[in-house]
Structure 1
Amino acid sequence: MATTVDSFQIGLGQNLCEVLWKDGHVSRFHAKWLRFNCRCVKCYSEVAATYLIDVPSFPLDMKIATVKVEDSMFKVSFAGDDHVSILPADWLRSKCYCDVCLELKLQKADVITQYIENNAGKKKEIPQMEYEDILTKEGMFNWIGQVITSGVCIVRNVEPTPEKLEEIAERVANIEETTYGKLSVVKISSTEGNAAYSTVKLPFHQDQTMYEKPPGIEFLHCMKFDECITGGETKIVDLYEVINILRNDSPADFQTLVEVPVVYSTIDYKRANKVYLHHQKHVVVLDYFGKVVAINWHPALLSTLQVREKDVERYYKAHVKLLEIIRRDELHFFHRMRPGDMVVFNNRRVMHSRNKFEANGGDRQLQTTYVSADNWKNRYMTLAHELNRNVVAPKIGNGSSI
């Protein structure tokens, strides 16, 4: 018998196998689950997208015939099926899907909540790294992990050229193009139809919420920021911290933002590159477990509310409450950029804003680009594998808790 297993038994209905582990934990595995998760070479392949088990070909009322444990392997046979499922005991223990184990797995992956709780009441400071520190695999792993954990990181002393920004981004993943192309330069301009190119204050927002999937990781690279300019500081707020406060302090408003959708829109036929992006989505997205897995907020891109009459008043009430929390000064990270600064942040998790500024004859130019949150996480996990780091795949705000 496997060293991790104390005992096991088949349930009375033969549709479950109950396992008592040496640590005292009890797991229950369904017959179908045991058959469809067999790890033998006939049923499981490491080649991606290989479909070896045809689920519809099995009866709905599968029964377990026998269970044995040999050489730390569970061997399970089924009534009317000559196949024996092979499942390593340690693997089986790690895949327990009881409520306790599922919740524990979600908690371990939720680095966002861990970071917020560990830094509650502390002064908001943006983590910083030097450009030279992110050039090695170890340094890149630490940098990517910092953005995953805290949501934002400043990289100092990056050469202020378009080529350098593109080079850094593509060392992690392919650049995500938007209606502004691969790279865009944000500077004072009276001809651009976007408030970012003016000197006005920009409200806290996530970029590009009118897309079905907004950009994930944003790079905001300072090219010029003359000393004579007054104002124009960059501010960051963790939207997950905001939503946690809303959920605790005003659960009815939180639920409204889960249930009542809004429309984000950018429609502009005057641009050389004409745009029609118009998407309805919920501000707060929950998963199967009731966990917040995505948030969508850009008040300046909100289009006309189109919901049932009964939901109009409660939506605007929740809208106001959300903005009241977002505007709390104690939740804000604050930074005046200098040439060579590159603020990298998770656009699916944090919002950014800009204070109003006076140019006073000076120049302020930032360039920006994006890579997907999925690819950012992918780079983190593959680097962890290369560096032999034992890490849990983290939650990153991209619509999934795992």
Structure 2
Amino acid sequence: MQSTATPTTFSRTNPFHAKVLKNVNLNGAGSNKETRHLELSLQGSGLSFVPGDCLGIVPENDPELVAAILEEMKWDPELPVPVSKQGDTLPLKEALAKHFEITLLTKKLAQQAAAMTDNEQLQQLVSGDNIKEYVEGRDLLDLLRDFGPWKASAQDMVAILRKMPPRLYSIASSFAAHPDEVHLTIGAVRYTTHGRERKGVCSVLCAERLHEGDLLPVFIQTNKHFNLPESKDKDIIMVGPGTGIAPFRSFIEERAVSKAAGRAWLFFGDQHAATDFLYQNELEGYQKDGVLTKIDAAFSRDSEQKVYVQHKMLENGKELFAWLQNGAYFYVCGDKQYMAKDVHEALLSVIEQEGAMTRDAAEAYLKDMQEQGRYQRDVY
């Protein structure tokens, strides 16, 4: 008798538990950074992706942070608390670890919490404009410590928490090159603020607590606005400093497998050449094989004057503009706040200078590239 069971489709609401095949630090000894290269098995998942897509990870909170919250409130870790509208429950400790967002404070959360305490300071904060400033860089533990005593039960408190959102990362491998795997490039986020050390929920899980053989709940998130050109003859220019290299590793692997005829130029940047040139051997191998035409790397801490990717673009302005005139696609991946703005500015300057255009004409040229899908950004 034939089985009529339909194959499971894995998705954001039903993630696939991928086995960790490899988890290594890409940075050399003495680096200020820790960038993990993660290889996960997709065997049996039926999942596939194209270069430019993202992988969603459903992370778990830091057990130390969960323990500190339980300790602060003297809550029973085994107390069942509701985690869904359907009335599903989990023990409090597990709910805080796996289900709720506890590292991010919002104005709304502070306002709802204010109803659960007589603390005047919190009442004043939520009624004024300073609440925005307070929630910035603080978490649930700060709120609980700063504004007790609380009149709320554990159930009351978790009822106002948001569900933990998945974290999205650009995929760093090509499905054609590694059909049953997905690779990621994740920078561990650690910093100190308001007197406590803070850790990125997912990045530090990957850096400190995820080992080979462990399972990680994942799903594929398509990215319609960041893709290789349909024609393999087109040239591509990729600007990806730091972990921004991730999707470009996928692009390069894909072009190697498909034997694309178009040229490829990578701008990469980080702090020190000796410790922070991510995937250096691989990239130089691709250059030797002709898959990568050019690599321009900028290391900001290796010289007195800080050199960034945008400086390398300006240095190569003439050739860069010639590539654009020839129909090249231009991609940027990485930090939205500073890098992407600086790269955009540099690109405008190159078009303006090398194309002998006014600023307005250069902006129109870039807008035209955008409309043709030849200027794509994956910034976060």
Which TM bucket (shorter chain)?
Answer: under 0.3
- Structure number with the bigger relative contact order (C-alpha 8 A, sep ≥ 6) is 1
Instruction: Using structure 1 for the length normalisation, give the TM-score.
Output: 0.25
- TM-score when scaled to structure 2? 0.27
Q: Which one has a larger percent helix, Structure 1 or Structure 2?
A: 2
